[in-house]
Amino acid sequence: MQQGTTQQVDPDAIALAYQAAIAEAVRRVGATAPNPPVGCAILDAQGHILAVAAHHRAGEPHAEALALRRCEAAGVLARAATAVVTLEPCNHVGRTPPCTGAILASPIRTVWIGVRDPNPRVAGGGAGRLRDAGLDVHMAAPDSPQARDCLALIAPFASALRGRPWVTVKQALDFDGGMIPPPGARTFTSPSSLQLAHRLRRATDAIVTGLGTIIADAPEFTVRHVADHPERRRVIAVLDRGDGLPAAWRRQAEARGFRLRTAPDLPALMQGLRDDGVLWAMVEAGPRLLASLRRTDLWDDWLTIRRQPDAGDLVSVRARTATTPLRLIDGIPSEITLEQEATCSPAS
């Protein structure tokens, strides 16, 4: 990590605080759109963690403000000395007050920041205001594990700022590379792979699929094998070049709490998701839509679950960048193949 003008807390304690803040933020991934997931840990002068918090959802307190509230509720606010936050504290008034104000109103005088805010309208404002007020502000070194994971946390948010949500493709293949389950079955993947798929649904804001998948399978797209975020309402985006979405399935999906969106092509679908405030979309679709995604390059990472003859599953990930948010999801392999290093298609 880079050093600032003073360093009162042991670097190992700062690293542990980053781990705690990142882990807390990961628990909220999929619930904060259109805001990014953010975590914060508050330490005392000896480097002991006093409180950890994360932003829960848009309109509710940001991570820094909530962590300070928890310190106050525990009667330890006077001991607060250092804040470790995954994203640069905001310095603007939105649905909640700026986090810089909450920090400046507290005893905190040292702040560690994982990554700068990528929003061009506010980038740099938070760190600058804290420095101008005399606080000791540090940034995690760009090549550190802390910065990498903090970047992974906000990758979907940064993608949305660039014009479209982050797109993850989930593709399940049988022994022979086919995608059709055997007669009478809805899937051919193992229970652990099903849990992984539902953890991904929980983390994302939208499901992208094709009309053919809806007609053939009538999928529910609900989160079932893990606990979902309370009162979470996601988008189902259907590539439909006509008006073929079955009315009964639409009614059932809306009754399950989904918002439905259709579009005749992928660019229009992505624009619609952006308009809906979606940060992270997962594609669960058939071969035709996946082929269109490959052809148009409208994907960011590609998760393949391949059934093995020994009844296990081989999970692999191909990604455009090492800071894919998939690396934060439990069950994702640590080895992620970067697309620029690949010599074959994402489904191979």
Q: Sheet with 82-87: list strands edge to edge.
A: 49-54, 39-43, 82-87, 110-115, 136-139
344 in a labelled binding site: no
Q: Are 318 and 311 in contact (CB under 8 A)?
A: no
156 in a labelled binding site: no
Report the SS3 class of residue 148: helix
71 in a labelled binding site: no
339 in a labelled binding site: no
Report the SS3 class of residue 104: helix
Residue 88 appears among annotated catalytic residues:
no
Phi and psi for 83 in degrees, rounded to 5? Answer: -110, 130
217 in a labelled binding site: yes
280-283 and 110-115 strand pairing:
unpaired
* Catalytic residue (choose from 64, 72, 254, 341): 64
Q: Are 67 and 51 in contact (CB under 8 A)?
A: yes
Crossing angle for the helix pair 63-73 and 11-26, to the nearest 10 degrees = 110
172 in a labelled binding site: yes
CA 26 to chain centre: 7
275 in a labelled binding site: no
289 in a labelled binding site: yes
296 in a labelled binding site: no
28 in a labelled binding site: no
90 in a labelled binding site: yes
Whether the CA torsion 214, 185, 307, 27 is positive or negative: it is positive
Closest CA to 262 of 325, 315, 211: 211
CA distance 85 to 102: 13
> In which element (H, E) is residue 303 found?
strand 301-307
62 in a labelled binding site: yes
5 in a labelled binding site: no
- Residue numbering of the annotated binding site: 62, 90, 99, 172, 201, 213, 217, 224, 284, 286-292
Q: Binding site membership for NADP(+): which residues?
A: 172, 213, 217, 286-292
Active site residues: 64
Binding residues for Zn(2+): 62, 90, 99
As annotated, the binding site for substrate includes 201, 224, 284
